[in-house]
Amino acid sequence: MQKLRFPPPISPQQKISVIAPSGALREWERFEQGVKIWRDRGYHLAIPDDLSQPWGYLAGSDQQRCDQFIAAWNDPDLVAIACARGGYGSMRLLEKLDWNLLSDRPKWLIGFSDITALLWGLAKHKGISGLHAPVLTTLGNEPARSQQQLFDLLESKVDSITLSGQGWENGKATGILLPANLTLATNMIGTSICPDLENVILAIEDVSEAPYRVDRMLTHWRWSGLLSKLKGIAIGRFSQADVSTPSFIMEEVWRDRLTDLGIPIVMNLPFGHDGENAPLPVGSFAEIDAQQGSLCYFL
């Protein structure tokens, strides 16, 4: 994976843009909670009047959402872009988006889940890092620790973050951190958005995916040949799986599909849906240690 350019630190009193590039915004109370957290820290949030104009399950037509993203990115007064929510829809923008229309000036794009497509697109086509981190509708449910990590990272108050989970006995490795929603990442295999995965530590999460569907996606990754390029795999939260399936079944899937790769794997890390969602900067240098059960990334 190519070396990425990181946006400069941001600070209170600066202006942040809010966009809705994916699903229609219906969780308005949760959205306002997220907005309040940013404003309470002194940031000015620019929220467009047409933030979400429901277009079926989307927050607007593809062209409307694409124009919203381009306008926010190119506005020199806006130092970062906070996504309102995930859902589905950002992959559709990539069909329309002319990356040449985007300024080469780095700024933080903040979001996770469906926002994976835009984060990977920025990395691949602009060589710019983004932040896999809570969207506005989930920020209010974050514990104090991950909220603090988010702002510490954006404001350059820390130079590293270490997450703890459960490791498998395959030693440790260093590489370039690439976070993603597994479903989105799987569907970008073979497209112009998929980055080079050489020397990458892949960090994955998802929601509402049954073990057999996770198995199917991992099998597709195996057939693609991409898993053999990875230095390690960091597994976050896979929440809201089929309640009729015992939780240990998902772990059996991970072990069955990944153990033979011979690379460090750490699971149960605190990022993803429905719980603590630590910020993960795309393209940062990282170390994964299966013996310690840790993922450490440097800023």
Lowest mean pLDDT, pick from 3-7, 143-147, 208-212: 208-212
Task: Pull the structure tokens for residue 133.
Answer: 């981190």
Residue 113 bears catalytic tag: yes
Q: Looking at residues 285-294, what average pLDDT do you find?
A: 97
**Catalytic choice (22, 146, 273, 284):** 273
For 284-296, letters b (16+ CB in 10 Å) and e give bbbbbbbebbbbb
Buried b (16+ CB within 10 A) or exposed e, 31-40: bebbbebbee
Helices (H) and strands (E) in the chain, counts: 9, 14
Overall average pLDDT of the 10-24 stretch:
97
pLDDT of res. 243: 57
Q: Which residue has the higher pLDDT, 159 or 245?
A: 159
Looking at residue 15, what is its pLDDT? 98
Q: Which candidate in 113, 129, 284, 294 is catalytic?
A: 113
Asked whether residue 142 carries a pLDDT value surpassing 60, the answer given is yes
Q: Positive or negative, the Cα torsion across 75, 81, 86, 92?
A: positive
Is 273 a known active-site residue? yes
Taking residues 36-61, what's their average pLDDT? 95
What pLDDT was estimated at residue 248? Answer: 80
Q: Which of 26-30, 49-53, 239-243, 252-256 has the lowest mean pLDDT?
A: 239-243
- Supply 50's token pair: 């047409």
Residue 227: count of CB within 10 angstroms of its CB: 18
Q: How confident is the model at residue 169 (pLDDT cuts 50, 70, 90)?
A: confident
How many other C-beta atoms are found inside a 10 Å radius of the C-beta of residue 5? Answer: 15
Q: Which residue has the higher pLDDT, 249 or 19?
A: 19
| Most confident segment among 91-95, 146-150, 189-193, 225-229 | 146-150
End-to-end CA distance of the chain: 17
The pLDDT value given to residue 245: 63
- Domain positions in the chain are 15-152, 160-298
Q: In what order do the strands lie in the sheet with 294-298?
A: 160-164, 294-298, 285-289, 172-181, 200-207, 232-239, 265-267, 166-167
Per this entry, what is the length of the chain? 299
Task: Give the per-residue pLDDT at 1.
Answer: 84
Residue 299: predicted pLDDT: 87
Distance separating alpha carbons of residues 297 and 299, to the nearest angstrom: 7
Active site residue 205: yes
Say what the pLDDT of residue 237 is: 94
What one-character DSSP code corresponds to residue 56? T
pTM of the model: 0.96
Q: What is the pLDDT of residues 237-275, one digit of tens each?
A: 998 776 556 668 888 999 999 999 999 999 999 999 999
- pLDDT exceeding 90 applies to what percent of the chain? 90
Q: Looking at the structure, give the CATH architecture of the domain made up of residues 15-152.
A: 3-Layer(aba) Sandwich (3.40)
Distance CA(71)–CA(60), nearest Å, equals: 15
Catalytic residue among 52, 132, 142, 205: 205
Domains 15-152 and 160-298 share a fold: no
* pLDDT at site 289: 98
Determine the Cα–Cα distance for residues 131 and 166; give it in Å rounded to an integer: 24
Q: Where are the alpha helices (DSSP H) in the chain?
A: 28-40, 62-74, 90-96, 116-121, 136-139, 144-154, 182-188, 211-224, 248-258
pLDDT at 284 over 90: yes
For 107, the token pair is: 């700024």
Mention the CATH class of domain 160-298. Answer: alpha beta
Query: Is the separation of the CB atoms in 265 and 232 below 8 Å?
Result: yes
For residue 266, give the 3-state DSSP assignment. strand
